[in-house]
């Protein structure tokens, strides 16, 4: 019998969680400003293990530990970025400086593909990570996500005061300042992803699978030309590789 496990992906803005496996799996999401515990966790939910991917920082992680241990009375396990797991080798000179969410997405991607692939994680920050056919992480990029770009533009310009909001799906040139900013931010990110993928594929004759995840994955991937796989829980999937 498998041990009931609660997995958490603690990002910059949101917490995604998954409990159980197969037909009995439960999942959810809450904003970090709403607290650490999902109100949908009822008394029947009794994990024996809690595995966590967190980029929240030391102070926030300490608060998270206290909240979870008080709620479930189960020690928590944090995933860490390491030099190597199986065939996968981290490309950072100092692996401890690489966000654990990116590392877990890479581990899950290798388990899915077992060949060259690119992970695109679209959230508060947008990250791209490149892995060759031998499992070597070839580095990556980090740029502002859609909402971060819009907020930064609004903060640093006097006449471009717009409210950051989800896009409408159209990327044609906008007919108002709000549309111009929103569509421009999305168009910039789509072009950046497509060109980065094309360059990596040319650089070593890699035909790389493209794995897309993150909160803005659906909106951005709708405009991508290269074939891709939408994997919403890639970071959560990586927890079972790093912490089996």
Rounded Cα distance between 242 and 167, Å, is 35
> CB 65: neighbour CB atoms within 10 A?
17
Question: Which residues are annotated as catalytic?
Answer: 101
Distance of alpha carbon 172 from the chain centroid: 27
DSSP type of residue 233: T
Which residues in 121-134 are b (16+ Cβ under 10 Å) and which e? bbbbbbbbbbbbee
Rounded CA gap, 127 and 223, in Å?
Answer: 17
Quote the CA–CA distance of 123 and 12 in Å, as a whole number. Answer: 8
Q: Which residues pair with 77 in a beta bridge?
A: 51
Do residues 129 and 135 make contact, with C-beta atoms less than 8 angstroms apart? no
């Amino acid at each position: 019998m498998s041990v009931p496990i609660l997995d958490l992906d603690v990002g910059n803005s949101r917490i995604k969680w998954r409990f159980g496996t197969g037909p009995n799996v439960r999942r959810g999401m809450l904003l970090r400003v709403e607290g650490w515990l999902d109100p949908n966790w009822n008394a029947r939910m009794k994990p024996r293990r809690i595995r966590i991917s967190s980029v929240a920082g030391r102070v926030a992680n300490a608060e998270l530990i206290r909240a979870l241990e008080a709620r479930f009375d189960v020690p928590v396990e944090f995933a860490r970025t390491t030099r190597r797991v199986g065939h996968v080798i981290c490309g950072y000179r100092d692996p401890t400086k690489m966000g654990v969410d990116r590392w877990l997405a890479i581990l899950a991607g290798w388990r899915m593909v077992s060949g060259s692939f690119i992970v695109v994680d679209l959230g508060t920050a947008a990250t791209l990570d490149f892995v060759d056919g031998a499992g070597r992480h070839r580095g990556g990029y980090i740029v502002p996500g859609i909402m971060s770009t819009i907020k930064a533009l609004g903060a640093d310009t006097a006449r471009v005061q717009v409210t950051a909001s989800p896009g409408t799906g159209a990327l044609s040139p906008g007919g108002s300042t709000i549309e111009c900013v929103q569509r421009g931010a999305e168009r910039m990110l789509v072009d950046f992803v497509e060109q980065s993928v094309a360059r990596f594929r040319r650089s070593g004759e890699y035909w790389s699978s493209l794995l897309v995840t993150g909160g803005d994955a659906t909106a951005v991937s709708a405009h991508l030309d290269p074939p891709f796989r939408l994997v919403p829980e890639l970071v959560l999937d990586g927890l079972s590789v790093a912490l089996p």
